[in-house]
Structure 1
């Protein structure tokens, strides 16, 4: 059964993710370190997970539990890579899917940016969220969750006698 994992501490699209997941009847795990109060809808499909403080504790919790049938919403590139390694799907808050084709370049770019910051260079931050970003996120998450719900290996078949 497909489940949705949200790396929640810095996620600007939690409400959008809840809307899609509830419409599709998908259990959702909202994982945070509890540093900020995150409001969640009162619904039996939405589960609050508060992990202990520490680097990558929320990421570890998600990576240990996610399966190939699941989807993760995260800005964290290393977490996205860990999800992909397990066969899961991952998407960032601007509606860009993390894939095996783009994750290597994203990890390399992250390493370069970290190096530049360590030398005192400013790398700038992410661009502000736009309405188009939110719309793309809603559409892509819906598509991703629907695809994850389909039985794996199910082939399109023409019924006997045709259509």
Structure 2
């Protein structure tokens, strides 16, 4: 099992790396060259850089992720594709994407996009909270434990 992180805008990269280290799991951070960093990570962390462009990181994750891998993303479309491959998909706000909730999430995303195209102004995301960070860490531990037990 590997953990893949859609890392361009992920606020939980450090948490993922720390948790993966406790379980001796590999982490793959996938991000565009526009987010290049010289930061050193532990040897169990690989960073893959992709060309700048819409969905390039998503395409790379889809290509690499396998059944029972864990994918961390806030992108509902990527989540849907990863669920189809049998991956465990987690949002950084601390909820898990499932076959039971993905259709509702995709419909909501589509409705918001249509409203924006029609001139309606939608609110941006709320600030990321420490409660959400803790919920994410708890859920990631739970997902990993369910797979290794």
Map residues 42-57 of structure 1 onto 2, 5 A cutoff: 42-57=41-56
Residue in structure 1 matched with residue 121 of structure 2 by the alignment: 122
- Matching of residue 109 in structure 1 with residue 108 in structure 2: yes
- Matching of residue 34 in structure 1 with residue 45 in structure 2: no
Residue in structure 1 matched with residue 145 of structure 2 by the alignment: 146
1:71–1:148 CA contact under 8 A, matched in 2: no
Segments of 5+ residues of structure 1 without an aligned counterpart are 151-163
1:32-86 Cα offsets, whole Å, 9 max, x none, are 0121234654311100100111111110110111111200000000000010000
Counterpart Cα distance in 2 of 1:107 and 1:131 = 26
TM-score normalised by structure 1 residue count: 0.87
1:7–1:74 CA contact under 8 A, matched in 2: yes
SS in 1 for 2:33: coil
1:93-119 Cα offsets, whole Å, 9 max, x none, are 111101111100000000000001111
Residue in structure 1 matched with residue 6 of structure 2 by the alignment: 7
RMSD: 1.2
Counterpart Cα distance in 1 of 2:109 and 2:39 = 31
Q: Structure 1 or 2: larger helix share?
A: 2
Matched residue count: 149
What is the CA-CA distance between 1:149 and the residue it aligns to?
Answer: 3.0
Segments of 5+ residues of structure 2 without an aligned counterpart are none
